[in-house]
Each structure stands twice: as C-alpha cells, then as structure tokens.
Structure 1
Amino acid sequence: MRRLLLFALLALGAAACEKTPAAPPPLDGQLEPVANPHGDMADPLPDPELQDGRVGRSARRLTVDQLDRSIEVAVGRSWTGLDNGLGTTLGRADFALVNQESTEPNLVFAKFLEDGAREVCMAQAAAEKSLASPEARVLSRTIPGPLSDLRKLSDDQVRELLVYLSIRFWGSPLQGEELTRWSDFFKKAATRAEALTNGRDQALAAVCIALMTDSRFLTY
C-alpha cells in the first residue's frame, strides 16, 4: 500500500513538472533575477475619496522665506513686515529658541497674511495708477494704455486679466465657471471703486488680495 502511494505521489510530481516550463537559461552578460529578500515593499495607494480627491502627500504651506519671495514675484513688491519681526511670529526659525520652520496653516498665520496682502496689494495698485505703460505694471499688465474706468473693460479683457493674474499668483489659470465668478467679482469691485474719490485702483487691489489669500497661493 505504501509502495502504491509513493508511486502516485511521484506521478503527480512528474505531471506538475511537465506543466510548469523551466525558465530559460540567462543570456551571456545577463544577470539572473534575484528575489527581494524583504518581500513586496510597495505600499498600496490611498483611497482618493479619503484624500479630498488627491493621491499622494497632502499640500504643504509655504515657509516664511518662500512666502516672502512669492509675494515679491507675484505682486511686484515685498511685504516689509516679514523683515520687521513678524516673520518669527509666522513660523520662521530664529535658531535660538526655534530651530525648525513652522508650516502650520493656523489662524494666526491667516490673520497676519490678510494684513500683509492689504499692505502690498493696495500699495502696488496705487502705484500703477501713474504708470501709463502696461509693461511697467504688474497687476494691470494686460490692460492697454493708462488706467481708466475699469467698468469699460470688455468681458474678454476682464477674463484675460484674471487668467494672467491667476497664472502669476497660482501657476494655473482660472477657467470655466470659476472664471465666470471671478469676472463678476471684478466687475462689482470696479463699480464700487469708481464711486470712490480717486479710488479706481481699489478694484485691482481687491482682486490681488483675494488671489494672495487663496490656499492655492499658500500651498504647494
């Protein structure tokens, strides 16, 4: 009986060997594959529904130095408050008591950033009123000629301006329904600004502040 069982096992093993083809011998100069001793180390991707539609790391807030440079490039002037002690409050390391940059998007950061946006945006918008050449301007570069009544801009001109500014601040253009909403916002701001005495630049400042305080400007 044992002899019959042994023959049966040998027959099954032979049949299995016949069904599994042997791996071809390696070619000259070709390394034989080596199995990973740690096994499969690949982690499964997270569920996008649990990551706000994203797959990968979460967005990170700019450091103070990155914010400083981004404001200078996007708006055309620096936020002087960052060099007057405010930078430490917003998370810049002093390497005396704090040796690591803070990138936490807290309410303190949001409050001071709004103040900074008002400072730099209003100053830049006011400066552009006296600049006749579009090439010399930043916030109104796509508007031809000297700044006049912004209510008279056509829909295409308003959209062109907002697309230009969104690319400048965020690196991606406004489009679709969102572009329409921002166009309506700009037109309302232009109407209110024109009612102010010498306040034509306020519409540009309002758009600048909104772009700068948007999360797309602060994260990467």
Structure 2
Amino acid sequence: MRRLVLTAALLALATGCTKDDTQASDGVIEPIANPHQPGDFMPLPDPEAQAGSVGRAPRRLTVSQLDAAIIEAVGQRWTELDSRATSMGRADYALVVSENTEPNLVFAKFLEDGARKVCLNQANAELRMTDPSARTLGRLMPETWVDLTLMTDAEVRAQLVYMSTRFWGSPLAGEELTKWTSFFTQAAARVKTLPASKRHETLAVVCIAMLTDPRFITY
C-alpha cells in the first residue's frame, strides 16, 4: 500500500513538472524596464547653467593653502598674512574651531592688499635679474625691461601662458588669451610713460590680476 502511494505521488510530481516546463517554454517573457528611460533617473545638470562645470561647487583655499599657493606662484611669502588670518577664516580654536572657506568681501579685500605687496616686490626684484631662469614671474620676459611695448605678440602670449599655468594650473588659450594679451600690451604702454623705477609694474599688474582671479583661490 505504501509503495502504491509513493508511486502515485511520483507520477503526480512528474506530471506537474512537465506541465510547468511546457508553460515556461510557451510563455512570454515579461519585459525588463529600461533604467535609462526619461523619468527613471536623475539627469546631470546642464553645464551652461552651472558656470561651465558639473559636480561639487568650487571650494575656496584655506588660509594655510593660500599661504603655500602664493609662495609657489609668486616666489615670496605674504608676510602680513598671519596678522589677517583670523579675519580671513583661519580657526583660532578658542572661539572658532572650524576653518571658514566661504568667499566673502573681507577675504577678497585682504587678498587684494596681499597681491599688491607680493607682486610689486617680486616684480621689482626680478627687474634686476639678468638671468631669466632665476626669475619666478618673468621667466620668459626679455633680459632687460627698458621698453616692454617692444615685445612681440608671440612673446607676450608665451609669457602669459607660462604665468597662467603657474598660477592656475591651466594655460590661457583662445579668445581669453587674446584679451589678456591686450591687457598686457596696454599696461606696458601705460608704464612706458612712468619713471624708469616703475618699469616692473607691467609684470606686477598681471601678477595681481592672476592672483586675485577666482581660479587662483578655488579648487
């Protein structure tokens, strides 16, 4: 009797399997939803609506990073930075325990003051250097700076590409390079009318402009 029941159960199981296999082979596979259909995913932001970038917002340099960046780009330290560091966002770990890296007018004002000092000092020092390889800013400038309006357009562009790469890690190019070339040429023409002791100011004004550009203080 037990053998008969077992046999019946096996037959029923075999019948069920055959039925399921038939249904599986004759059935229709349900379509899988396309994960790339509109509405199924979050599209990337439009670069044109994000100032040309996609991703996290730019971050401003900390005071310590700014200190190191000025030394690397210009070739000398801004000696007054420490006295302005707290106002520019450095934590004192007494009342303020986190670094402030938000762009603000106080930071911009102090940075402009520092840029004027280090750029004028460095450019004035390099004016007296006859070996271009010893210079930090004017590496591709002429040996003497009697009249920088005599520099060719190619020479000015090469100098600006060198400086922009040094300051921003990205070379000027295209229309923007043309605008900066015009700026350099106008500065040189203006400085030509000043006393000889001011000849370094052409390089200095370009240095100040690049040092206070948002590309220098953000990453």
TM-score category of the 2 structures, normalised to the smaller one:
0.7 to 0.9
Q: 1:138 aligns with which of 113, 136, 144?
A: 136
Structure 2 gap segments, 5+ residues each: 1-18, 31-40
Alignment match, 1:60 = 59
- TM-score, normalised via structure 1 length: 0.80
For these two proteins, the number of residue pairs brought into alignment is: 189
Q: 2:91 aligns with which of 93, 97, 101?
A: 93
Alignment match, 1:160 = 158
AA aligned opposite 1:14: Q
- TM-score, normalised via structure 2 length: 0.80
Residue 188 in 1 paired to residue 186 in 2?
A: yes
Distance 2:166 2:26 in 1: 66
Alignment match, 2:79 = 80
Structure 1 gap segments, 5+ residues each: 1-9, 22-42
CA-to-aligned-CA distance 1:79-102 (integer Å, 9 cap, x gap): 11112x201110011111111000
Distance 1:115 1:212 in 2: 11
Distance 1:56 1:133 in 2: 43
Alignment match, 1:31 = none
Distance 2:25 2:66 in 1: 66
Q: Is the 8 Å Cα contact of residues 133 and 146 (structure 1) preserved in structure 2?
A: no
Percent same amino acid among aligned pairs?
54
Q: Give the direction of change, closer, same or farther, for the CA distance of 1:114–1:18 in structure 2 (3 Å limit).
A: same
Q: Which deviates further from its counterpart, 64-73 or 134-143?
A: 134-143
- Tell me how far 1:144 sits from its aligned partner: 3.7
AA aligned opposite 1:158: V
* Structure 1 outlier segments of 4+, above 6 Å: none
